[in-house]
Amino acid sequence: MGAILRYLSQRFTMVTPQAKATLNDIGTEELAHLEMMGTIVSQLTQGLTDKQVREAGLEAYYVGHGLGVYPASAAGVPFTAAYIQSKGDPICDLYEDLAAEQKALATYNYLLDLTNDPDVIAPLKFLREREIVHFQRFGEALDIVRDYLKEERVFSIKKPDCMM
Ligand SMILES: [Fe+2]
């Protein structure tokens, strides 16, 4: 029984100090990024007139939230904890984290496509760079956890000769 519990506690928690530190660091930074995005939205909407709200297509948002910053998707779907995935398996959860970083990177690219405001572009580019760093750090954590758990690296197969 002790061996089973020890296995489960190693298998289903973030099992190494390095991986825990990575999650703590990135999680803390992501909260700061949320604040940065909220500040950008606040600065862009501060003092908008009724006419500007209508021209920007923000009537529905304005009715629901005034000019306050409300965390929602571009389609108006409010942020919920359902967006945060956790399976309780460190390998699975780290893949989820990697996917989240890549999706955030794509979102910043799309946002950059839609603006020509240098005061918006600069912070968006900074945030986009951080997603790349986060992706790399989660990848390192995944390697560390795999080594710790002695799991096979599914994607670390030898390349065929034709691809060398
Ligand atoms: Fe990130």
Q: What digits encode the pLDDT tens for the residues 108-150? A: 999 999 999 999 999 999 999 999 999 999 999 999 999 888 8
Average pLDDT of the chain to the nearest whole number: 87
Q: For residue 104, how far is its CA from the centre of ligand 1 (angstroms)? A: 7
Residue 101 has pLDDT above 90, yes or no: yes
Q: For residue 145, how far is its CA from the centre of ligand 1 (angstroms)? A: 19
Quick check: 128 and 108 in contact, CB under 8 A? yes
Q: What is the mean pLDDT of residues 2-30?
A: 76
Query: Are both 101 and 122 inside the same structural domain?
Result: yes
Residue 6 has pLDDT above 90, yes or no: no
CA distances from 81 to 2, 39, 86, 139 (A): 34, 22, 11, 24
Quick check: 86 and 93 in contact, CB under 8 A? yes
Decide if 9 is inside a domain: no
Q: For residue 26, how far is its CA from the centre of ligand 1 (angstroms)? A: 7
Query: Are both 74 and 131 inside the same structural domain?
Result: no
Q: Please write the tens of the pLDDT for every residue from 20-66.
A: 999 999 999 999 999 999 999 999 999 999 999 999 999 999 999 99
Number of domains comprising the chain: 2
Q: Residues lining ligand 1 (ion), CB within 5 A?
A: 101, 131, 134
Kindly indicate the confidence band of residue 73, based on its pLDDT and cuts at 50, 70 and 90. Answer: confident
Decide if 159 is inside a domain: no
Query: Are both 103 and 132 inside the same structural domain?
Result: yes
Query: Are both 30 and 104 inside the same structural domain?
Result: yes
Q: For residue 95, how far is its CA from the centre of ligand 1 (angstroms)? A: 13
Query: Are both 137 and 98 inside the same structural domain?
Result: yes
Q: For residue 93, how far is its CA from the centre of ligand 1 (angstroms)? A: 14
Query: Are both 36 and 110 inside the same structural domain?
Result: yes
Domain span including residue 144: 18-46+85-153
Query: Are both 52 and 65 inside the same structural domain?
Result: yes
Q: For residue 33, how far is its CA from the centre of ligand 1 (angstroms)? A: 8
Pairwise CA distance, residues 37 & 106, whole Å: 15
Q: What is the mean pLDDT of residues 73-79?
A: 88
Query: Are both 65 and 139 inside the same structural domain?
Result: no
Query: Are both 92 and 31 inside the same structural domain?
Result: yes
Query: Are both 64 and 142 inside the same structural domain?
Result: no
What confidence score (pLDDT) does residue 15 get?
Answer: 78
